[in-house]
């Protein structure tokens, strides 16, 4: 699976309240959630994000609560992937369960700048920018199947 988009760069400790503020948790509808994704840290995020774009974070991306609303909101915005130095473990699992590819790469997350054009080959484990190539771990087959299906529940339904 190959992804291509522009980087939206954020720092360390981007928590789930920043990704989708708690005041919007009265719904789990992706169309409603996407309207408020990242608004407390980047009020214009929803206006400037395009389908396929990639969020790049620092350390501990997705920390905070265990709500799956955060990866749902990110994916609903059209974000194709999140690259970060590290992820909170529950966010990591929720993202995979929702079919949102996430990549841990200290080197790539530190080097990529806001607005950079990025290409990601999930199968080969490669992140490319206009001037650099980063080797990242490819997903194991079972995670690749979950991502390709669009999430864990869709994978289970399709497996029957």
Q: How far apart are CA 103 and CA 7, in angstroms?
A: 14
Return d(Cα 102, Cα 36) in angstroms, integer.
21
Structural domain of 108: 2-159
Whether the CB-CB separation of 78 and 31 falls below 8 Å is answered with: no
Tokens of 135: 């080797």
- How do 102-104 and 54-57 pair as beta strands? unpaired
Please list, in sequence order, all residues whose beta carbon lies within 8 angstroms of the beta carbon of residue 51, skipping any fewer than 6 positions away: 5, 78, 80
Q: Rounded distance, CA 26 to CA 113, Å?
A: 34
Which of 78, 85, 82, 107 is closest to 94 using CA atoms?
Answer: 82
pLDDT in tens, the chain (160 residues): 899 999 999 999 999 999 999 999 998 899 999 999 999 999 999 999 999 999 999 999 999 888 899 999 999 999 999 999 999 999 999 999 999 999 999 999 999 999 999 999 998 999 999 899 999 988 888 999 999 888 888 888 887 6
CATH number for the domain that contains residue 12: 3.20.19.10
Q: What is the pLDDT of residue 1?
A: 84
Cα end-to-end span (Å), the chain:
23
Number of structural domains, the chain? 1
- State the pLDDT at residue 160: 65
Round to whole Å and give the CA distance between 112 and 105.
Answer: 11
What pLDDT score does 67 carry? 83
CB atoms closer than 10 angstroms to residue 133? 10
């Amino acid at each position: 699976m190959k992804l291509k988009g522009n980087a939206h760069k954020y720092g360390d400790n981007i928590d789930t309240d920043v990704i989708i503020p708690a005041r919007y948790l009265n719904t789990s509808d992706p169309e409603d959630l996407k309207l408020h994704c990242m608004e407390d840290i980047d009020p214009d995020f929803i206006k400037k994000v395009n389908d396929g774009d990639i969020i790049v974070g620092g350390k501990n991306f997705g920390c905070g609560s265990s709500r799956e609303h955060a990866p749902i909101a990110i994916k609903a915005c059209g974000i194709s992937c999140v690259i970060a130095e590290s992820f909170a473990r529950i966010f990591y699992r929720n993202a995979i369960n929702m079919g949102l590819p996430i990549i841990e790469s200290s080197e790539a997350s530190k080097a990529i700048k806001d607005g950079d054009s990025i290409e990601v080959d999930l199968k080969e484990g490669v992140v490319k920018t206009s001037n650099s190539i980063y080797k990242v771990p490819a997903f194991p087959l079972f995670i690749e199947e979950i991502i390709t299906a669009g999430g864990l529940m869709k994978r289970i339904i399709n497996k029957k």
